[in-house]
Amino acid sequence: MKKVIKLIGVLSFALVIFTGCAKKDSGSIKIGGIFPLSGPVAVYGIEAKNGIELAIEEINAAGGINGKKVVLISEDDEGNPEKTVNAFKKLTTKDKVTMIIGSLTSGCTAAITTLAQNQKVLLIAPAATMETITDAGNFVFRTCFIDPFQGTVGGKFSAETLKAKKAAVLYDITNDYSVGLYENFKKSFVNAGGSMVAEESYAANDMDFNAQITKIKNANPDVVYLPDYYATVALIAKQLRAQGVNTAIVGADGWGGITDNAGDEILNGFYSDHYAADSVDAKVVSFVKSYKTKYNSTPVSFAALGYDSMYIIKDAIIRAGSSESSAVRDAVEKTNGSYVTGQLTFDAKRNPVKSAVMMEIVKEDGKLTPVYRATVNP
């Protein structure tokens, strides 16, 4: 009899623990995150994750969402589409997540958009700018503007602000992001009265660009457009300057973080971005101050986009009165609010309608720094 009583006691204790855990789990809102936290574009993922974690910390400190704490479950895809798929499957099957922020690059994000749509998982891509990302269906959104707009901004800025008449482009022919930017830059620049004097390409993982740069140098352009990620841009810029091509270089949001990964070769460099850390807008000032306090660095656009992505979800859950993915999806679609990266609404394809900024890389107190140069409206 004593053994039976003891067994009942053990089972009761286990039931209490299980029930407590279940209550704790049901009282939270799980957000999945897929980021390149290692690999060649790790700075994007680390910054985005930092921004999301800062937002969650603020949200939870203010009482959570509808009284529930927010929990981020993140996975590292290393910037590899196959690993993005594996991360998605792990988050949705093992962790039972129905809302995901990620991934960062267009190729990785494109690998999971159909999966998200088919499973009715709300997917918000902070920085995947390739135009077709949201084509998979109505559960896929993004926080960043798209490549056609960004390429157009680069071409317009080069012609109208830099007063360039002749442009050269050096792009990665194997990367959809790079190709899309190049095509839209060319269209915009030519429409503004400029001419393309050199259009050179390379493949992913190439390290020597001197043959292409020789052709560019001989074409004598006023501006060189480099639509790629920061590590490759830094390498190309060094080889450009070494050959005596000292003209302005222009790029896109993939340059984010370049000031920590390059030297003076990127001076006289300009790139389109999603926000300016030196803005006097109250939301930006507050965000930058909080980020610097937590991480001891100035946030680049990927941090701001991650931060905004989390607040878009938070605002949508509150409006929906539910964290069920379909209800949240419907509310996200109706977003119309002011965020760190600007006043934001979504168009019919769930792309944000907002401004872009052009940043210039300068040297302040011996340190390379991106500073606000201009705003280009949609």
- Pairing status of strand 122-125 against strand 140-142: parallel
Residue 378 is predicted with a pLDDT of 67
pLDDT score of 2 more than 60? no
Other CB atoms within 10 Å distance of the CB of residue 351: 21
Q: Where in the chain is the domain with CATH 3.40.50.2300?
A: 25-145+280-346, 148-273+358-376
Residue 147 is predicted with a pLDDT of 82
Spatial separation of the C-alpha atoms in residues 277 and 159, rounded to whole Å:
25
What distances in angstroms separate CA 190 from CA 159, 199, 226, one per listed residue?
9, 13, 17
* Contact of 35 with 76, CB cutoff 8 Å: yes
Mean pLDDT of 282-298: 97
Tell me, which fold does domain 25-145+280-346 have in CATH? Rossmann fold (3.40.50)
Is the CATH code 3.40.50.2300 the one for domain 148-273+358-376?
Answer: yes
pLDDT score of 351 more than 90? yes
Spatial separation of the C-alpha atoms in residues 165 and 222, rounded to whole Å:
6
For the chain, the maximum distance between any two Cα atoms, rounded to a whole number of angstroms, is: 96
Mean pLDDT of 50-64: 98
Mean pLDDT of 330-352: 96
* Contact of 19 with 29, CB cutoff 8 Å: no
pLDDT score of 8 more than 90? no
Residue bearing tokens 């990665």? 172
Q: What is the pLDDT of residues 78-103, one digit of tens each?
A: 999 999 999 999 999 999 999 999 99
Spatial separation of the C-alpha atoms in residues 128 and 108, rounded to whole Å:
9
Residue 10 is predicted with a pLDDT of 42
Spatial separation of the C-alpha atoms in residues 239 and 374, rounded to whole Å:
28
pLDDT score of 46 more than 80? yes
Q: Is 63 helix (H, G, I), strand (E, B) or coil?
A: coil
- List residues bridging with 294 in a β-sheet: none
Residue 26 is predicted with a pLDDT of 57
The percentage of residues in the chain with a pLDDT greater than 70, rounded to a whole number, is 93
Spatial separation of the C-alpha atoms in residues 242 and 228, rounded to whole Å:
19
* Contact of 140 with 172, CB cutoff 8 Å: no
Instruction: Out of 7-16, 53-62, 186-195, pick the least confident.
Output: 7-16
Spatial separation of the C-alpha atoms in residues 253 and 145, rounded to whole Å:
10
Q: Categorize the per-residue pLDDT at 18 as very low, low, confident or very high, splitting at 50, 70 and 90.
A: very low
Instruction: Out of 6-20, 154-168, 210-224, pick the least confident.
Output: 6-20
* Contact of 285 with 293, CB cutoff 8 Å: no
For residue 29, give every residue at least 6 positions away whose Cβ sits within 8 Å of its Cβ, in sequence order, or none. 64, 65, 68, 69, 70, 71, 317, 323
Other CB atoms within 10 Å distance of the CB of residue 159: 21
Mean pLDDT of 5-19: 40
Residue 355 is predicted with a pLDDT of 85
Spatial separation of the C-alpha atoms in residues 189 and 159, rounded to whole Å:
6
- Write down the mean pLDDT value for the chain: 92
Instruction: Out of 1-5, 85-89, 200-204, 240-244, pick the least confident.
Output: 1-5
Q: What is the pLDDT of residues 225-280, one digit of tens each?
A: 999 999 999 999 999 999 999 999 999 988 988 998 999 999 999 999 999 999 98
Mean pLDDT of 105-124: 97
The percentage of residues in the chain with a pLDDT greater than 90, rounded to a whole number, is 85
Q: Categorize the per-residue pLDDT at 377 as very low, low, confident or very high, splitting at 50, 70 and 90.
A: confident
Residue closest to 172 by CA, chosen among 215, 206, 210: 206
